[in-house]
């Protein structure tokens, strides 16, 4: 029987092949570990920015909007850019881990599941620590205006009056209505409110507030408000707290009605 080992040695000598050094093998493994860790960090930031851009989908959107409008707004304004980055980083991270000295021993399903779990935990932690808020601000200031809606679709989400969503800054407050200048188009809207309009407990509406309105467009630049939510000055879209539907809240609009009675 022919000795296969002799053939292998002959080919090695003929090709002047040299065994890779231990340092080179270790360096290659370290490089793949570093790449995997980098992909985890980028993936976690992507998850955190996804959460940040979806945080304003609170229960009032479903309650106040028709179901088909809600899903249309959701799919048209989802943060697809960060979903794409998340998928890319997961694929690259899994492939990098498979190239390490330990990665080839694990199944692809196990590695992928572990990667999803890690980036999800880190991403939620980044949201709770408001790291994503700082990252979003930095990104929005660094990129051209025409790409801002792709990286941060929240503003576009609150500029869909046909679907019942409009956000802007309060210009004036009157009896059972207030004037709102929209964020993007800077159009002046008349927002009509009633005692059934949902809003936060003990919340007043004053000039300069940034308000998100969920309602129905009833005329040219006129919207009937079903629900109101107040945004902080830096346009943070977090869900409001202590939402009280149909609450008898004291504010300038309701006070004027009480005084007339």
pLDDT digits (tens, 9 = 90+) for 92-133: 988 888 887 777 778 888 888 888 999 999 999 988 998 888
On the question of pLDDT at 233 being above 90, the answer is no
Q: Give pLDDT, residue 96.
A: 85
149 or 93: which leads in pLDDT: 93
How far the first Cα of the chain sits from its last, in Å, is 110
Q: What is the pLDDT of residues 151-196, one digit of tens each?
A: 777 777 888 888 888 888 889 888 888 999 888 778 889 999 888 8
Q: Give pLDDT, residue 28.
A: 75
223 or 154: which leads in pLDDT: 223
CATH T-level fold of 158-260: OB fold (Dihydrolipoamide Acetyltransferase, E2P) (2.40.50)
Task: Look up residue 153 and give its two tokens.
Answer: 């679709």
Q: Where in the chain is the domain with CATH 2.40.50.320?
A: 158-260
Angle at 220 between CA 215 and CA 222, to 5 degrees: 35
CA distances from 17 to 12, 83, 151 (A): 5, 45, 50
């Amino acid at each position: 029987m022919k000795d296969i080992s002799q053939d292998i040695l002959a080919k090695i000598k003929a090709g002047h092949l040299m065994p890779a050094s231990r340092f080179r093998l270790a360096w290659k493994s370290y490089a793949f570990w570093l790449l995997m860790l980098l992909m985890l960090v980028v993936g976690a930031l992507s998850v955190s920015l996804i959460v940040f851009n979806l945080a304003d989908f609170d229960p009032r959107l479903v309650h106040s909007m028709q179901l088909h409008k809600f899903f249309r707004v959701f799919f048209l304004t989802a943060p697809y850019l960060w979903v794409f980055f998340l998928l890319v980083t997961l694929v690259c991270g899994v492939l990098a881990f498979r190239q390490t000295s330990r990665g080839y021993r694990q199944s692809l399903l196990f590695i992928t599941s572990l990667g999803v779990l890690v980036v999800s935990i880190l991403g939620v932690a980044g949201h709770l620590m408001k790291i994503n808020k700082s990252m979003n601000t930095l990104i929005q200031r660094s990129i051209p205006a025409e790409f801002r809606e792709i990286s941060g679709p929240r503003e576009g989400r609150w500029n869909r009056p046909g679907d019942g969503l409009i956000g802007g800054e309060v210009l004036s407050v009157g009896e059972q209505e207030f004037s709102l200048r929209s964020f993007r188009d800077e159009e002046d809207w008349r927002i009509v409110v009633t005692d059934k309009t949902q809003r936060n407990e003990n919340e007043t509406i004053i000039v300069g507030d940034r308000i998100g309105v969920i309602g129905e467009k009833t005329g040219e630049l006129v919207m009937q408000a079903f629900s109101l939510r107040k945004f902080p000055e830096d346009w943070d879209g977090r869900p409001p707290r202590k939402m009280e539907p149909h609450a008898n809240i004291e504010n300038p609009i309701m006070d004027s009605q009480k005084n007339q009675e």
